[in-house]
Amino acid sequence: MKATEIKSYSLAEMKDKYIGQVGTAERDNYEYELRMDVLGRMIKTARQERNLTQEQLGQLIGVQKSQISKLESGTNSATIDTILKVFKALKADIHFNVTLENQYVQLV
């Protein structure tokens, strides 16, 4: 008797199959939401390490507690300006890496 072979798939193959190919609207939306989720968790972790409430962080940057909550849960798309204000208030460094037509640009 032959043992059953199990097919393995990479994460990229699974995303291509179930979410959509790179460059499609579905895939772009998924990748964007994933980045916002990761960013939200980073904000929440940094805020908690500084022993700040959402309300206190909001006061530091001039927004309501609800906006901080939405940022942390990844349900709100924020401007770069707001994200920079949040990390500055948290006394955290943030770095952006951008690739423009094979040129690497870093914003520190």
Q: What is the tens place of the pLDDT at every residue in 60-94? A: 999 999 999 988 988 777 777 888 899 899 998 87
Q: pTM of the full predicted structure?
A: 0.64
- Helix ranges (H only) for 23-96 are 25-49, 54-61, 65-73, 80-89
pLDDT at 105 over 80: no
Read off the tokens for 53.
């409430």
| Mean pLDDT estimate for the chain | 82
Nearest to 85, CA basis, from 52, 56, 55, 62: 62
Residue 96 binned pLDDT confidence (cut-offs 50, 70, 90): low
Residue 102: what pLDDT?
A: 64
In order of start, what are the domains of the chain with their CATH numbers? 11-107 (1.10.260.40)
- Helix (H) or strand (E) holding 16, with range, is helix 11-18
